Amino acid sequence: MKIKSLVLTGFGINCEEEMASAYQSPNTTVKILHLNELFLGKYSIHDFDILNFPGGFSFGDDIGSGKVLVNKIKFKKLSTGKYFIDEIDKFISQNKIILGVCNGFQVLTKMGLLPNINGNYEEEVTLTKNDSGKFEDRWVKCKINPNSKSPFLKNGQFPNNLIELPVRHGEGKLIIKNDEIKNKIIEQSLNFLSYTDKNGTITDKYPANPNGSELNCAGLINPKGNVLGLMPHPEAFLSLYNHPNWGKLKRENPNISEDGQGLKLFQNVINHLK
């Protein structure tokens, strides 16, 4: 049986095609749907195994990135009488996977799905304006937390647990509600991806850390391990040739894989569900 992946679009989301491309494999089927098709009951998220919130500028990011889309999701009443957020809660309880990238990560935090330490879908962290005060669009280096339980990026998959991915955001600074939440994120290794300098040392220094996030966080998971959000774009590094310096990488290592590092995240998700 094939793994079924749903990629949401509409209202300013604009990375849906790249996200869908990440799931092109013999073991998966992928469908791109406008959110209204779910709201109107034409499709159900429960027909899928993975729910993807891609990057983009939902509702123009006019009232904080992702906030308008979150309100639409949380307070949308379906024809069944249930709220859409209740369907998402059921989806998570069935051990299915939710992935949010960039604007999708912003949506998951403001919806209370990440990190959701207390299990009540209250907003425990948020993502706000970069310390630089501007949109950041470049490649960054990140370190995978070796203690993380995340099935998305695993300990030892990359040399020194380092991965390169592009960032494209104006509001990527993670702010944590209080010290209690922060300590639990640390204790449970929910901060699964951190910004590093060119030598692979975790850093809060700009520009290696593009936004000034607390804990130098580039990605979070929930305690259950089936909801993931990250600011860098793994779907933008599916091929080695996406990398701006692919020529040098290939000269230094002629046997290097032609798969991009970001592709591994999606392969891990599929293998985990299988």
Cβ atoms of 49 and 97 closer than 8 Å: yes
- The DSSP output letter for 179 is H
142 is catalytic: no
**Active-site residue, from 18, 87, 102, 136:** 102
Distance, CA of 167 to CA of 161 (rounded, Å)? 18
In which order are the strands placed within the sheet that holds 50-53?
A: 28-34, 3-9, 50-53, 97-101, 227-230, 217-221, 191-196, 136-144, 162-169
**Active-site residue, from 87, 169, 171, 233:** 233
E strand intervals along 37-149: 50-53, 97-101, 125-128, 136-144
Rg (CA), the chain: 18
**Active-site residue, from 16, 87, 136, 235:** 235
Cβ atoms of 111 and 181 closer than 8 Å: no
Which of 59, 56, 92 is CA-nearest to residue 233? 56
34 is catalytic: no
233 is catalytic: yes
- The DSSP output letter for 176 is E
DSSP per-residue letters across 71-90: HHHHHPBPTTS-BHHHHHHH
Give the residue numbers marked as catalytic.
102, 233, 235
